């Protein structure tokens, strides 16, 4: 008669452990010797490879297919970790790139505003320079007018001085004549 055993319905997926000294993956005993009704273990080295006893597990881990898979698993895990690190680095760089692009946009906006301000200031400067030139020209004209007026004033003053001197001379002469006539009359 064939013996039927009850196999628990859930199958555990086997994963090797990393040796902290070498960094390589190694097998470990997932099934306990002489223990009945253990949870079956499935190994990824070969499809359908399920062990339910410690002896089966030991035989399984000694076969060449499992040993080759274990070496390959170490390399694959190492590559997975490299890929995970690269993905993490890539995500970090994407976030940094996003932040930098945001800063660049802000700087460009600020630069645009500052360029407008510079243009406005240059236009205002041009207007102020033009106004100063016009005022300078007006000032030169006023100075020329002032010089002419000063010359006219000087000329008029000279003429006035000459007239006053003439009047004073005439008055002196008239007074002297009047005094002479008065003296003669007396």
Q: What is the pLDDT of residues 110-133, one digit of tens each?
A: 999 999 999 999 999 999 999 999
Tokens of 57: 């597990």
Q: What is the pLDDT of residues 66-77, one digit of tens each?
A: 888 888 877 777
Per the confidence metrics, is the pTM higher than 0.85?
no
N-to-C CA span, the chain: 196
Q: What is the pLDDT of residues 44-97, one digit of tens each?
A: 887 678 888 888 888 888 888 888 888 887 777 778 878 888 999 999 999 999
Contact present, 55 and 24 (Cβ < 8 Å): no
Q: How far apart are CA 42 and CA 3, in angstroms?
A: 22
Query: What is the maximum alpha-carbon separation in the chain?
Result: 196
- Domain-by-domain residue ranges, the chain? 12-62
Closest-CA residue to 43 (of 14, 66, 23): 14
Q: How far apart are CA 159 and CA 154, in angstroms?
A: 8
Q: How far apart are CA 38 and CA 28, in angstroms?
A: 16
- State the number of CA atoms in the 13 A half-sphere of 49 facing the CB: 17
């Amino acid at each position: 008669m064939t013996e039927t055993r009850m196999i628990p319905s859930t199958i555990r997926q086997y994963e090797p452990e990393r040796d902290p000294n070498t960094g390589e993956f190694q097998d470990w005993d997932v099934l306990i010797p002489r223990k009945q009704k253990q949870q079956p273990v499935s190994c990824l080295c070969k499809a359908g490879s399920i062990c339910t006893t410690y002896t089966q597990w030991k035989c399984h881990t000694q076969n060449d297919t499992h040993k080759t898979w274990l070496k390959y698993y170490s390399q694959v895990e190492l590559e997975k970790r490299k890929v995970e690190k690269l993905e993490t680095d890539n995500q970090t760089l994407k976030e940094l790139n996003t932040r930098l692009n945001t800063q660049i946009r802000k700087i460009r906006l600020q630069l645009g505003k500052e360029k407008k301000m510079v243009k406005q200031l240059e236009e205002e400067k041009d207007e102020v320079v033009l106004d100063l030139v016009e005022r300078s020209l007006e000032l030169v004209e006023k100075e020329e007018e002032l010089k002419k007026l000063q010359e006219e004033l000087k000329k008029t003053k000279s003429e006035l001085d000459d007239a006053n001197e003439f009047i004073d001379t005439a008055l002196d002469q008239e007074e002297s004549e009047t005094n002479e006539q008065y003296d003669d009359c007396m």
